A = this chain, B = another copy of it.
Amino acid sequence: MTRKVYDLCGADDLRFSPNCWRIRLALAHKGLETEFAPWNFTDKEAIAFSGSTTVPVLVDGEETIVGSWNIACYLEDSYPDTPSYFGGEAGRAVTGFINAWTDSTLHPALVRCIVTDVHERLDPVDQDYFRETREARFGKTLEEMRDARAEFIEALEPALKPLQTILHYEAWISGDAPAYADYLVFGAFQWARLVSPVELLKKDSPISGWRERMLDLFDGLARTQPAAG
């Protein structure tokens, strides 16, 4: 197989990266078999060839593409005979908005709730790097972050509002069938599911049912990694 994604990896081969999960599901959507090679946060050398310091990095034959959005657009354009991610150019642009919302609103609201759990599940070789960069970002120790978790979960509610609103009347973010908007948002919930035993959603949230449907896709692809217990 000439197709390969460098995929963030924790201890015990845990593949928890939200942005890599976007691409794993997106490749399944197009039926494109791909090797997901384990990569550590601190192994910058292994992907230096790509010009990027973070993953996902896709190598597809002669092509190297970095960043989940670029990869999604590349796959959409390069494999026009496979099922579409966007259903056309207007759909691609508005999906780009959801991508930006996920990066700027959903992930920051979510990571505060689970950052200490992420640290615990990292390969030991990455733990010092992670602690240092994240404590600098939040201005708090990882232990202080965990102590404030209830408050962070409370603050997640308003951030989730648009998602709750549409999943109240649509089965999928993309409408009648799942597509890239679903994969990219699901990456965030898969990340939380894999690293943290804490439930972030209220019992009656319409997001819960959608998350189960997402876990069922592609013969339960996203369930191949068990939830944190």
Contact = CB atoms under 8 A, between A and B. Distances in A.
B94 A181 contact: yes
Stoichiometry, as copies per complex, reads 2
A173 interface: yes
Classify the interface of chain A: helix, strand, loop or mixed: helix
A174 B96 contact: no
A45 interface: no
A75 to B, nearest CB: 16
Contact of A170 (B87, B91, B96, B103): B96
A217 interface: no
Interface in A156-173: 158, 161-163, 165-166, 170, 172-173
A93 B165 contact: no
A95 interface: yes
A146 interface: no
Contact of A179 (B90, B165, B174): B90
Interface in A81-119: 84, 86-98, 100-101, 103-105
Contacts of A174: 90, 93-94
Interface string A148-192: 000000000010011101100010111110010100000000000
A21 B93 CA distance: 22
A87 B97 CA distance: 16
Contacts of A92: 175
B161 A96 contact: no
A175 B93 contact: yes
B87 A166 contact: no
B172 A100 contact: no
A29 to B, nearest CB: 12
A179 B94 CA distance: 10
B166 A96 contact: yes
Contacts of A165: 100, 103-104
Contacts of A170: 93, 96
- Nearest 4 CB-CB pairings of A with B: A87-B90, A93-B175, A104-B161, A100-B165
